[in-house]
């Protein structure tokens, strides 16, 4: 006599599920979303390297701009969705080294450093090394510095300087005499990346506040001007680079004037004390 399996009793033993359908899948998707943007950032850097090696600089330069956009989005999406993790921080740094370190260095070498030979090789490596040092320092200083400012030029902004210049003039230079200014184009941002010059981070802008409306209007105006002409990207890249230098010079000037004023007060008080 054969016994049939009691399917009904087995079904009753299972506890009722309290999880909503698709909840776990949605949570996993949200967790992977920032990493997808980071992967897109890395892909833009890789594609920029491929196009640069093929000599198609007019296609390589805009990819740095796309990498900057997705790099700005991945961190904000991670914070908005509560999906930040140590893996995401490390993955983002590795992607940034490719997109904002190796890719712009190879593109600049193909564009104007190649006629300089070994000097061009050295300049490109200095840029890559500075980007790696800048990213490593940023990771260990997170949470210990003023959020209003970056200490040193951010690697995306440093990569934007040669990328914007090459996008505006992709023809490049073929002689060593004409290629000498390219050294400043590469080494200048590299030195600023490892410097202590502060640059505005834009992280304190509250989009829910009315004070942010002028900033958004200026941003929209900048995007409109950029669409109108390619030179606006050059202006924006160099303006941000110059803003840190201006802020540094202004801070030193104010500190010097303040110290001079204190010395005058001390000398004046000392003269009054010793005067008959």
Could you give the domains of the chain?
29-204 (1.20.120.1760)
* Better-scored residue on pLDDT, 74 or 9: 74
What is the pLDDT averaged over residues 17-44?
69
Q: Is the pLDDT of residue 189 over 90?
A: yes
Q: What is the structure's pLDDT at 30?
A: 60
Q: What is the structure's pLDDT at 85?
A: 78
Classify residue 36 by its DSSP letter. Answer: H
What is the pLDDT averaged over residues 47-59?
95
Q: Which residues pair with 150 in a beta bridge?
A: 199
Q: Is the pLDDT of residue 260 over 70?
A: no
Q: Is the pLDDT of residue 25 over 50?
A: no
Q: Is residue 225 classed exposed, middle or buried when 0-12, 13-18 and 19+ CB atoms within 10 A define those classes? A: middle
Asked if 32 and 82 count as a contact pair (C-beta separation under 8 A), the reply is no
pTM of the model: 0.76
Cα separation of 275 and 264, whole Å?
A: 16
Q: What is the structure's pLDDT at 72?
A: 86
Distances (CA, A) of 173 to 113, 118, 120, 234: 8, 16, 12, 18
Cα separation of 199 and 240, whole Å?
A: 8
Q: What percent of the chain has pLDDT over 70?
A: 70
Q: Which two tokens stand for residue 131?
A: 């980007």
Asked if 129 and 75 count as a contact pair (C-beta separation under 8 A), the reply is no
């Amino acid at each position: 006599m054969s016994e049939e399996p009691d399917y009904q009793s087995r079904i009753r033993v299972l506890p009722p599920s309290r999880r909503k359908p698709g909840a776990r899948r949605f949570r996993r998707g949200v967790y992977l979303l920032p990493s997808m943007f980071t992967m897109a950032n890395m892909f833009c850097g890789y594609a920029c390297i491929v196009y640069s090696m093929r000599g198609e600089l007019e296609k390589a330069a805009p990819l740095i701009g796309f990498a900057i956009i997705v790099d700005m989005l991945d961190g904000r999406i991670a914070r908005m969705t509560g999906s930040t993790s140590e893996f995401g921080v490390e993955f983002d740094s590795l992607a940034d080294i490719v997109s904002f370190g190796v890719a712009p260095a190879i593109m600049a070498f193909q564009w104007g450093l190649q006629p300089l030979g070994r000097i061009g090789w050295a300049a490109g490596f200095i840029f890559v090394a500075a980007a790696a040092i800048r990213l490593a320092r940023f990771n260990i200083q997170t949470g210990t510095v003023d959020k209003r400012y970056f200490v040193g030029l951010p690697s995306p902004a440093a990569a934007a300087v040669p990328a914007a210049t090459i996008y505006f003039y992709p023809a490049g230079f073929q002689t060593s005499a004409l290629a000498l200014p390219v050294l400043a184009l590469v080494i200048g941002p590299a030195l600023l990346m490892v410097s202590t010059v502060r640059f505005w981070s834009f992280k304190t802008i509250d989009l829910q506040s009315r004070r942010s409306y002028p900033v958004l209007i200026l941003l929209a105006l900048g995007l409109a001007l950029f669409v109108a002409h390619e030179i606006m990207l050059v202006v924006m890249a160099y303006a941000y680079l110059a803003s840190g230098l201006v802020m540094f010079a202004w801070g030193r000037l104010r500190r010097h004037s303040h110290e001079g004023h204190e010395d005058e007060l001390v000398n004046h008080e000392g003269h009054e004390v010793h005067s008959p």
